Amino acid sequence: MSLTKFAKRGIATAWDLKARITPSAPRLTILYYHAVAADLAGDFDAQMAFLRRCANIVQADHSGPLDPVKPNVAVTFDDAFRSVRENALPALIRHGVPATIFVPTGWLGRRPGWTMETSGDRDEEVMSADEIAGLPTDIITLGSHTVTHPHLSRLAPGDIDAQLQESRQSLEALLGRTIDTLAFPYGDHDSSVVQRAAAAGYRYVYTVEPQAISAGDRAISRGRTAADPSDSLGLFALKSRGAYAVMPYFYRLKRRLRGRSD
C-alpha cells in the first residue's frame, strides 16, 4: 500500500470511528467500479455478499428514506466493459444487488480509445449494442457516459451538448426507455457542464468525488467513492460505510494550509 493510500485509509478509519461513536442522520454512499477481471470475480462476489449481509442496497438515483442503522449503498460501473457482464453480473444477480452501468455509446463493441485509469483495464472492450440491450432490467439500470468519453470541461459548448444529447438519444433508441442519468468521464466537469446536463434532460449526474448523500437530497450532482474488486473486505467496508466522504474536506483543508504557508 502506498503512503498516500495508507494515509487516506488512516483518515477514513478515524472518521469511521468518530461516526460510530457519534451517529448522525443516515447517508447514502455510491460506489463506482470500472472493470472486473476474471481473476478477481471471486473477490467481487465476496464484496457483493458483504453488502447483502451488512448494507441497505438501493439504486444510485434513490432519493427516498434511508436505513437509520445499516449503511446505505448503491453500486455503479463506468465504461460498460464486457468484463462487467461476464464477471460481475453473475454476482449481482446471485446476491440481488442492483447496479447502474454508464455507457460510452461511441465505443460499443470495441476496445476503447481513451487512456485507461489502471493498467489492468487496457485489454478491456466495451459491451456491444446487443449485450447492452440484453442486460437484465430487473437488476441493471443504464445511464450515459457520453459518446466518446472526453474531458467535458475542455470542450466547446456545442460539443458538450452533442456528447450529452447524442449519447442519451442513442441509448433511448437502443433500449426503448428513458435515459436520464449521466456519469462524467474522468469525473471531469464544471458548473457549465452541470447546467448543460440539466438542460439536456439529465435528472442526476455523477462525479468521482466521495460524498455522503442525505435522505431526500435532490441535487443534480452526486458524488461517488471509487471501489475495486481488489479492495480487501476491511477497506471495502470502510468505503461502503461512507468513511471516504471525509476526503474532499481533508483535501480542501490541506490546500488552505498549504496556501497559508506559501
Model pLDDT for residues 78-104, shown as the tens digit of each residue: 999 999 999 999 999 999 999 999 999
Q: Which pTM value belongs to this model? A: 0.89
Q: Strand 213-214 and strand 225-226: pairing?
A: unpaired
Q: What's the rounded Cα separation, in Å, for the pair 161 and 54?
A: 41
User: What are the boundaries of each domain within the chain?
Assistant: 26-244
What mean pLDDT is predicted for residues 238-261? 69
* pLDDT of 121: 64
Q: What's the rounded Cα separation, in Å, for the pair 262 and 250?
A: 19
| Cα separation values, 167 from 15, 36, 87, Å | 38, 24, 25
Q: What's the rounded Cα separation, in Å, for the pair 45 and 166?
A: 34
208 has a pLDDT exceeding 90: yes
Q: Which CATH number fits domain 26-244: 3.40.50.880, 3.20.20.370, 3.90.180.10, 3.60.60.10?
A: 3.20.20.370
